[in-house]
């Protein structure tokens, strides 16, 4: 399917449909029917930078995109993809936030000291573990579901193994 816009990520709604949050932080979610190619729009309360569905259940989680300065992301639990329940705010000035393989830990991208930095952020303790620092901007696309590999996009697709020295 050819899409005429960029989406932050995608998640399976069922075996025939995908859910896609738009890249421009607008309060919408898109639903792509893989059989017909029809892309429908749903208006939601907040802009989302990422959505995920929990394994083995119908529970949805999302990262609420920043819409004020300084940037502040919120983790939300969604029901019917329109309701939002705030769990926490992330202080500081993050550039991007993505789900990791570990519940309660997020992949945080920040720009600091002329470097883009990727860290594992623990939502309970607020601690950060630095994974990668690079002068070029990158985006976390998807963590692997079974091992520590993380798919990144810079000018090409890259795999990061945070257990190895980079």
Taking each continuous run of H as one helix and of E as one strand, the counts in the chain are 0, 15
Tell me: the pLDDT tens digits for 36-71? Answer: 989 898 888 778 777 777 665 666 777 777 655 555
- The pLDDT confidence band at residue 90, using thresholds 50, 70 and 90, is low
131, 163 Cβ separation under 8 angstroms = no
Tell me the C-alpha distance between 108 and 45, whole Å.
23
Q: Where does residue 151 rank: exposed (0-12), middle (13-18), buried (19+ CB within 10 A)?
A: middle
SS3 category, 54: coil
Tell me: the pLDDT tens digits for 2-18? Answer: 777 777 677 888 888 88
105, 98 Cβ separation under 8 angstroms = no
Is the pLDDT assigned to residue 72 strictly greater than 70?
A: no
SS3 category, 160: strand
For tokens 């983790």, the residue is 75
């Amino acid at each position: 399917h050819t899409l005429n816009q960029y989406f932050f990520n995608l998640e399976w709604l069922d075996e025939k449909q995908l859910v896609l949050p738009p890249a421009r932080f607008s309060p919408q979610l898109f639903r792509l029917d893989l059989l017909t190619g029809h892309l429908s729009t749903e208006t939601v309360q907040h802009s989302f930078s990422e959505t995920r569905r929990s394994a083995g259940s119908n529970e949805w989680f999302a990262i609420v995109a920043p819409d004020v300065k300084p940037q502040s992301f919120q983790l939300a639990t969604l029901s019917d993809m329109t309701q939002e329940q705030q769990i926490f705010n992330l202080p500081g000035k993050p550039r991007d936030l993505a789900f990791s393989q570990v519940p309660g830990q997020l992949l945080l991208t920040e720009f600091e000291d002329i470097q883009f930095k990727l860290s594992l952020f623990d939502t309970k303790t607020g601690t950060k573990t630095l994974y990668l620092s690079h002068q070029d901007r990158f985006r976390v696309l998807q963590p692997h579901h079974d091992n520590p590999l993380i798919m990144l996009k810079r000018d090409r697709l890259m795999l990061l193994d945070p257990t190895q020295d980079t």
